[in-house]
Amino acid sequence: MKRARVGWLIVTGLWGCASQGSAVLPLPDVRQSTSYTCGAAALLSVLAYFGEEQREDRLAFRLGATEDKGVNPEAILRVAREYGLTAELREGMKVEDLEVAVRNGSPVIVALQAWVDQPTDFGNDWDDGHYAVVVGVDGNEVIFEDPSVLGSHAVLSRTELERRWHDTDGVKMYRNMGIVVGGRAPKPPPARIHMD
């Protein structure tokens, strides 16, 4: 549940629809600033979608993010709830469950294997955990607001996601785990804000 690819935190607006007209939730584009804050950056984007302004470094601290372990999913639940949101950790989810959640306006933070330096068999890989937010499902594609990608959505086929959709926190193994976040109407940040 940490990421190996490093970037700078940048928040921009990424709004739109998938190629075939399927709705894509308008989460702000967020780039994680360290190799282990993908969980904090994913939650940052979700919070902004619901109108909560925060900084990645502060969220990382509240989540207890560490370089060797990343972020525990239970911490994401706790902090999301501290903002008055509902957050439910579900295991054994299917892509159809993601589709229903997104259709209902609820982004889903998933833990999966991603962004390896060498080609790997993701079905047997438990060392490259990463958090990303499912924002849409369009036919065979699952669409992510991915804190390792700036300016675009990341996509995986349904089959690719099923192969990668597992992670561990060092104690427990999670399979097809998602954190469904909701509880109130979205309030994405405005496209323009006056500079005071």
Task: Give domain status of residue 192, yes or no.
Answer: no
Task: Give domain status of residue 92, yes or no.
Answer: yes
Supply the DSSP symbol for 191.
Answer: S
Q: What is the pLDDT of residues 135-148, one digit of tens each?
A: 999 999 999 999 99
The residue that leads in pLDDT, 18 or 176, is 176
Residue 106's pLDDT band (boundaries 50, 70, 90)?
very high
Note down the domain range covering 43. 11-182
Task: Give domain status of residue 190, yes or no.
Answer: no
Query: Region 137-160: what's the mean pLDDT?
Result: 96
Task: State residue 188's pLDDT score.
Answer: 74
Would the pLDDT of 193 be above 90?
A: no
Q: State the number of CA atoms in the 13 A half-sphere of 138 facing the CB.
A: 18
Overall domain count for the chain: 1
39 close to 131: Cβ distance less than 8 angstroms: yes
Task: Give domain status of residue 191, yes or no.
Answer: no
CATH of the domain at 86: 3.90.70.10
Q: What is the pLDDT of residues 41-63, one digit of tens each?
A: 999 999 999 999 999 999 999 99
Task: State residue 14's pLDDT score.
Answer: 38
Task: Give domain status of residue 189, yes or no.
Answer: no
Residue 1's pLDDT band (boundaries 50, 70, 90)?
low
